[in-house]
Chains A and B, each alone.
Chain A
Amino acid sequence: MTNAKMRRRYVGTYQPYREAVTKAVGQERFTIDMKLPGMLIAQFVRSPLPHARIVSIDTRKAESLPGVECVIYHKHVPKRRWGWMIEDQVTFPWDKVLYVGEPVAAVAAVDEATAVEAANLVKIEYEELPAVFDPLEALEPDAPIIHPDLTNYDLAFDWRAVRYGNVCSHTTIAAHGDVEKGFDEADYVFEDTFTTMSHHQHYLEPQAALAQCDFNGNVKAWVSTQGTYFTQYRIGQALNYPQSKLRLMAPAVGGGFGGKMESATAIWAVALALHANCKPVKLVFDREEDVQAGFPRHPSIVTIKTGVKKDQTMCARQSKMILNTGAYSDNGVGVVAYAAVWTRGPYKIPNCRSEGLCVYTNETIRGAFRGYGCPQANWAGESQIDKICDELNLDPLEFRRRNATETGYPLSTGQIPKSIGLVKTLNAATDDAPRFYSENHLKTRHYRPLEPKMRGRGIACKEYASGFRATSAAVRLNEDGTFHLLSGATDLGQACNTTLAMIVAEEIGCDLEAISVVTNADTFGSTFDYASVGSRITHTLGFATKEAASQVKKKLLEVAAEMMPDKGEKDALEMAGDRIRVKGKPELFVSLKDTAWYAMNFIGEGPIIGTGSYMPKVHSHDPEKVQSYMYLSFPALVYSTHVAEVEVDTETGLVKVLSLTCAHDCGKAINRLTVEGQITGGSTMGLGYALTEKIVLENGRVINPSFSQHGVLRPIDVPMIKPIIVEEFEPTGPYGAKGVGEPALVATAPAIGNAIYDAIGVRIHHLPITPDKILKALKKRS
């Protein structure tokens, strides 16, 4: 089926991408750069309180300020709830505010200064209510209930929600074996708790949207978003507006990482535009707003219990994860379910059970962020494996190899992946070493005297998913033999359009330069794609794109065959760049240019268009064994191993990362340049997650919003990361491809934590591993 050694012209090469040139010269436009004549600037009026009843809203003074076009609040928008899985969110609250920073009203004015002044003139009276910030407190029977009407909220579809109190979703996965029996069989049982804090995507381009409505009610909106169709649907839902009148476009997007999947701006920019007398309205966040009212990562508390037998195999694994989802569920339902799947880890464990609780608190909405629950699960699972190996005096590489999952072994949900390249990544990241630590090192490492600087190495691996949901593509032939690829993918910097163009060129057999991609993911001018999320564009949209390209190729060959009637049938013809020729007789050909012209004028059934429409099959679960959130179905599974070397300064607690090697099974790497870029970028974000990044809130207010306060790493903090591509063919992906965007981040934190343990013999259970935690632990140890 696959010939891994087949020479391909584009797939598998290093291809610099076109937008890189326009970005290098400063010509590329982001939403924040856009200007339209008569444009108004918008400003939110945000709640200063974490939980309060809205007593009154008075906008008269704000409205009468010269230069103010409109001031809107709940009475100007449909009174309804909306959302991704649970319809719990509001455009503007009419009853109570649920988090500091929640938008309560919005202003559009001639310039920023006027908009800010007007926002300050909006008078809102609140009656403060008791608030809850700790998810464990929110689970107490006497906790303030944030959504009293939770069980009556509409659901997107019947995903068999289990919801009660402040729990918006309680996922249970018990589809593999019998965990009680498994623990009975165990010779050793380990139980640990690990926690992680929230951190922010900190994309460089802030959340932004520009919207304009014409007299007929047709809306145009440019949004810094990861999904124009996704956002279009959400706007339609929130504002009861027909999608046919919502034209969404995404200019170059300055980073997303999950935080621009849901809309922090677009719904409100459109709502304002509908009241702005046909004037365009631009809404751009500042950095503080983004962290307070964006969609950062869910903080987690994970308890994990593992049973191990004397033969060094794991026989049972059980976990319970509590996620703090903030004031609204957003992606929480999905994140908690995913996290519950990934706590098992990429291992053959015959008895598993995991639970996840997604808990409301009066804090910032937590949402989708690169890894989607897997970083939290992986931190716990892989740190514990390291602890198991340490206590049983086992080598962590040998242990992982012994327990490693492989193609044919089910996930904890019962689904059987078609392609598992885990062991290859273990080998690639360690240079095929038989052991990770020498026997002598394991014996002596904790007896070394504490020096000012101590070095250590750590390893971690992971399993995660790639690809899902609906997508489509179209390829159009131009009369001169060039092509247009219609793609609904938003480019966030991952150069998806180049990857997709490479697939088209490879499939058709034409020159890459002949393909032009219709960018901006224009909902009027491209084809539907779910969104640039979930590591799915190369895999899922790529599959549909390949299909579209193959149709075009077929039709081209048919036309060419008619143009060369004496030279054989279309099966005897092949594409060769700018021409179509007879196989084995290259001197007999017609040019692609001529073929295209004839196809549009005389030969064939009409203009040549190829289409692809794809939705990976949803694996169906036994409802008794997998509860709450039924979408746990993954077309492709991705695996990786990260190896870290650190140097710990035992006097300051600072950790210097000396090296990081990341081996990723991403199926066939279509564009090796961008795949390596995702691995190095994602693992750097993982280093930040491990060592420095956190959002600190006090009574629901973020106190460290800036890049530096948050702990974003800089050039001097990061080593030259070594990405290694491992290709395990994936039958559901184009040319065997899987994804890599999110996987890149995941296994970094435990690799670092395990390296620190190797260096100084202290295991930190709570991310991020900041210097104060190391110093405290060292003090305790001595």
Chain B
Amino acid sequence: MTRQIKLRINGLEQIVQVEPWMTLIHVLRENLDLFAAKESCGVGECGSCTVLIDDKPINSCLMLAVDADGKSVLTLEGISEKGKLHPLQESFVKEGAIQCGMCTGGFILSAKSLLGKKVNPTEEEVRLHLDGHICRCTGYNNIIKAVLRTIDTEQESKSHDQC
């Protein structure tokens, strides 16, 4: 018995027919062709299914699609605008924070929610904020460096604006 839900995805209103048992990740990937969020474990342990709902990182494999009705969802596909990389995406590329790429979307979205929330987070605080994510390729070194570098760059440009 399908239900109709309304989602605002990456700024666009979408109306989708879903079964009540479908997870948000299932609907994103199967109904809406938004592939960036990946399902690696299906039990909310790895963070590769992460999307932002009201700027909060959510494991979309643990959320029923019907519970996302009326919500604003941001996926990895939605953070670069008009062919320009988001500063996080740029840092990830430059710092070698991406190897196979399966965990990338989750890390970038979670890191995005950290930007602007905390001034000068320590390396440990960044690691703690991202602890819901698993990467099997990089050893986290360059991911942490990329996030710290973005935070530094953001703050530098903010202080320049103030000058």
Contacts and interface: CB of A to CB of B under 8 A. Distances in A.
A25 to B, nearest CB: 5
Interface stretch (A198-206, A215-223, A312-320, A499-507): A198-206
B139 A718 contact: yes
A16 B123 contact: no
Given A25-B80, A715-B127, A677 B96 contact: yes
Contact of B102 (A14, A30, A676, A677): A30
B93 A255 contact: no
Contacts of B48: 204
A16 B75 CA distance: 24
With most chain B CB atoms within 10 A of its CB, the pick from A492, A677, A682, A708 is A677
Contacts of B130: 715
Contacts of A707: 41, 45-46, 134
A512 B54 CA distance: 42
B18 interface: no
A60 B73 CA distance: 45
A495 B108 CA distance: 20
Contact of A720 (B41, B131, B141): B141
Contacts of B43: 287, 706
B139 A681 contact: yes
A656 to B, nearest CB: 12
Nearest to A686: B139
Contacts of A257: 136
Contacts of B94: 16
A286 B48 CA distance: 14
Nearest to A32: B38
Contacts of B42: 286-287
A331 to B, nearest CB: 20
A204 B93 contact: no
B32 interface: no
Contacts of A718: 139-140
Contacts of A253: 100
A722 to B, nearest CB: 9
Interface string A248-274: 000011110100000000000000000
Contacts of A254: 38, 40, 100-102
A160 to B, nearest CB: 37
A287 B41 contact: yes
Interface string B132-143: 011111111111
A680 interface: yes
Contacts of B76: 25-26
Contact of B99 (A32, A493, A683, A708): A493
A680 B145 CA distance: 13
A374 interface: no
A716 interface: yes
A721 B136 contact: no
A290 to B, nearest CB: 10
B109 to A, nearest CB: 10
Given A23-B98, A204-B48, A706-B45, A720 B123 contact: yes
Nearest to B19: A113
A447 to B, nearest CB: 33
A493 B139 contact: no
Main DSSP-derived SS at the B contact region: loop
Contact of B131 (A205, A255, A714): A714
B144 interface: yes
Interface residues of A, number: 53
Nearest to A708: B45
B1 to A, nearest CB: 14
Contact of B93 (A21, A32, A681, A684): A21
B35 A29 contact: yes
Contact of A721 (B127, B128, B139): B139
A724 to B, nearest CB: 13
Interface in B78-128: 80, 85, 89-90, 92-94, 96, 98-105, 108, 123-124, 126-128
B13 interface: no
A706 B29 CA distance: 22
A252 B98 CA distance: 13
A681 B138 contact: yes
Nearest to A33: B35
A523 interface: no
B102 A255 contact: yes
Interface string A709-751: 0001011101011010000000000000000000000000000
Contacts of B101: 19-20, 23-24, 28, 30, 252, 254, 493
Given A23-B104, A706-B43, A714-B131, A720 B144 contact: yes
B156 interface: no
Interface residues of B, number: 52
A252 B89 CA distance: 18
Contacts of B138: 677, 680-681, 684
Interface string A137-168: 00000000000000000000000000000000
Contacts of B46: 204, 707
A674 interface: yes
Contacts of A322: none
Contacts of A706: 41, 43, 45
B34 to A, nearest CB: 8
Nearest to B130: A715
Interface in A468-506: 492-495
Interface in A256-300: 257, 286-287
Interface in B129-163: 130-131, 133-144
A209 interface: no
Interface in B27-84: 29, 34-36, 38-43, 45-46, 48, 75-77, 80
A204 B100 contact: yes
Contact of A24 (B35, B93, B141, B142): B93
A685 interface: yes
A454 interface: no
Contacts of A495: 99
A205 B128 contact: no
Contacts of B133: 714-715
A121 interface: no
Nearest to A254: B102
A673 interface: yes
A14 B93 CA distance: 12
Given A29-B35, A677-B96, A715 B104 contact: no
Contacts of A680: 138-142
A252 B93 contact: no
Contacts of B90: 24
With most chain B CB atoms within 10 A of its CB, the pick from A28, A204, A286, A707 is A204
A26 B124 CA distance: 27
B45 A673 contact: no
Contacts of A712: 134, 136
A647 B108 CA distance: 31
A673 B124 CA distance: 24
A24 B108 contact: yes
B93 A16 contact: yes
Contacts of B77: 25-26
Contacts of B40: 204-206, 254, 287
Contacts of B103: 204
A543 to B, nearest CB: 23
A202 B136 contact: yes
Contacts of A716: 124, 127-128, 131
Given A21-B89, A716-B131, A720-B144, 12 more contacts: A16-B93, A23-B98, A25-B77, A25-B89, A253-B100, A255-B137, A287-B43, A492-B100, A493-B98, A677-B137, A680-B140, A707-B45
6 smallest beta-carbon distances between A and B, as pairs = A26-B36, A493-B100, A23-B101, A684-B139, A493-B99, A204-B102
29 contacts: A16-B93, A20-B96, A21-B85, A21-B89, A24-B92, A25-B77, A25-B89, A26-B35, A32-B39, A203-B102, A203-B136, A204-B48, A253-B100, A254-B38, A254-B40, A254-B102, A255-B100, A493-B99, A493-B101, A674-B96, A677-B99, A680-B141, A680-B142, A684-B138, A684-B139, A707-B45, A712-B134, A714-B133, A715-B130
